Structure 1
Amino acid sequence: MTVDHNELIYSQYMVKSYLKPYDLHKSAQLLAFNNYENEAIRQLKILKIMYGINISYEKLLDDNDAGFVRKD
């Protein structure tokens, strides 16, 4: 899903406000699909450090990925 730059900025603001695992994962996915690889990898590092959830950058781009299971 490709979105415009302003929508990406807003989504990043929301993620920084809440920092829930599901939101970090979806934000990383959105960034990856919009060719912001470094920023997506940064979100994945935060996800790993804060919640111990390790997801590869390649997994974000996997079309067969059923998605992140929300547990909150």
Structure 2
Amino acid sequence: MFLTEVEADDRAPILHRYLAVAPGTRPRLPVHTTAAVADFERIASRIPVFRISPEPPAPPVSEARPP
């Protein structure tokens, strides 16, 4: 298995859903269980989120142009 960190801008809906399906995580997230996704955007950059995949992530495509 491989882990890829999710960009902070994409974490809020994931964290929102995570709290809904795993309420035992509530002490670890500084947001109320009934909070809106917008409230999770405030804390998303402080909470690491990882995507689990069976394959390694593709290398980033370079934007540099060859000389």
TM-score, with structure 2 as normaliser: 0.33
Higher relative CO (CA 8 A, sep ≥ 6), structure 1 or 2? 2
- Say which structure is richer in helix: 1
Q: Structure 1 or 2: larger strand share?
A: 2
The alignment's TM-score, normalised by the length of structure 1, stands at 0.32
